[in-house]
Amino acid sequence: MLAVHCGEVAYEEALRWQRLLVAARRDGEIDDVLLTLTHDPVYTAGRHANVAEHVLRTTDIRVVPIDRGGDVTYHGPGQLVAYPITELAHAKAVRPYVEALEEACIRTAASFGLDATADRERTGVWVGTAKLAAIGVRIDGRVTSHGLAFNVDPDLNHFTGIVPCGISDRGVTSLAALGVETSVLEVRRRLVSALGTALDKPIHQASPADIGLTAAPA
């Protein structure tokens, strides 16, 4: 799997990249790819999101409807996002795949001394009753896209504009809020390694240019 760190990328541009990579992976033109990046502030709404009820107030943060599972979530600076573009072995591998993403986040949290857990009823990774990492995926012809968002040090106030993932009785947290001083790049290093282990795929570093990714003209 090629691990490609892209820096900060506008959400819509990253979405375009994912669609290009999914098509290329489905056609056998590329191997598995893991994009890691951060986004500008944005709310994203999955296929079955209740936008009317779960976006709580008008802000200058835009809402982007997308084709992953899950409800409404937030992306922004200080949050590490990982998008694996990988071909699953068979149609029944979706749940094990999601569990592998959860396990990688749990191992990453543990490397900072935190006891994080998964909840089968409420997808994601939690420390107590607060979500540390959100997960939402799409499967297209057994090829995955979207993925996970791990809160390193985002502005948690931005989560108050929505009902995160449609869950009103639990909160959101971050490594910084839990007393961990680190950087997005350090979390990336640990999370990429953990994803390689959880997905049972050797990791090789690459650049966006290595896989033909360029930003669209403004």
Active site residues: 165
Using DSSP's 3-state secondary structure scheme, residue 3 falls into strand
Helix, strand, coil shares of the chain, percent, nearest 5, are 30, 30, 40
Q: Are the beta carbons of 43 and 149 closer than 8 angstroms?
A: no
Residue spans of beta strands (DSSP E) within the chain: 2-8, 33-38, 42-45, 63-65, 72-75, 79-85, 117-118, 125-127, 130-140, 143-151, 171-172, 204-206
CB atoms within 10 A of CB 200: 8
Q: Give phi and psi for 197, each to the nearest 5.
A: -70, -50
Which residues touch 150 (CB under 8 Å, ≥6 apart)? 79, 80, 81, 82, 105, 108, 132, 133, 187, 191
